[in-house]
Amino acid sequence: MDAEQVMRGDCVGASTNVNHRYVLEFARRLAVESHNPRLKILDFGCGGGAVVRAGLQEGLDISGADLFQERASDQSSATESGLLGSRILEIREGRLPWPAEHFDLVISNQVFEHTSDLGAVVREVHRVLKSGATLLAILPHSGMIVEVHSRLPLVHWLPRGSRARFWWSLAMCRCFNRNDQNRSPREWTLHSLAWIDEFCFFRTRREIDRLLAPGFEVQHIEREYAGFRRDYSRFWRIATPFSGTLGRINGPISRTLGGLVVLARKTESVPRPHAVDACKA
């Protein structure tokens, strides 16, 4: 999966680097808790392979997969790393190039929102996971305040193609100085909205949970994620300051600001095609 740097989930700034640290720390912790130091890990939608490279440097048994476009910058990065074709493989025709029940953990950072048929992706992830294995997914949803790719507030709440969305987006682009591609604010706004409309499929939390439910036991761990983010961000320390009994409030705040953090354990049942698979925001 590839797009221009400013419009990628991998390029939303420091938050993505924190997400990389978060998924790798989770993997290390799971390896210890499961008494499995050779935990087999897949980074689904790995892009240029930053998480794969970091995980290998830390001694993790990690591989990556992505759907590379022709001349994609991510593919170039993966090639330059020397991992493409060995640790990083290409997804072709919707299939991952590993046998069934191969991985102990699949991690996915801001990738599921770019799939028009999330149900098919969930079924394929289910296939390559061992029985009782784990999926950890961080992904935006329709209820977030900020659209994470354009980094503009409320853009994804307004009707596609509407004049209200264009003028609001243009005003927010100017207000937050988001024009970082040497385009005029109008050009940047038009490009941004067109990219979101083509490549992003925002779903509700309920829709995402329904797609996962047939093959996974689903748990939301946004509260834990908020605690991790507080160690790296003054903003998150201010936004999610609660502790003790009130700490549960941090979860909904984290969902609104940082998206969903889904921990799903594979069950024996096989996810079935569902009516919301191709749902678009």
Question: Model confidence over 99-121: pLDDT tens digits?
Answer: 999 999 999 999 999 999 999 99
pTM of the model: 0.87
Check if the beta carbon of residue 188 is closer than 8 Å to that of residue 175.
no
Asked whether the predicted pLDDT for residue 223 surpasses 50, the reply is: yes
Domain boundaries, the chain: 5-142+202-266, 150-199
Question: Looking at 9-18, 60-69, 133-142, 243-252, which range is the least confident one?
Answer: 9-18
C-alpha R_g of the chain: 19
pLDDT number for residue 1:
40
Check if the beta carbon of residue 148 is closer than 8 Å to that of residue 110.
yes
Asked whether the predicted pLDDT for residue 272 surpasses 70, the reply is: no
Torsions phi, psi for 261 (to 5 deg): -125, 105
The superfamily (CATH) of domain 5-142+202-266 is: Vaccinia Virus protein VP39 (3.40.50.150)
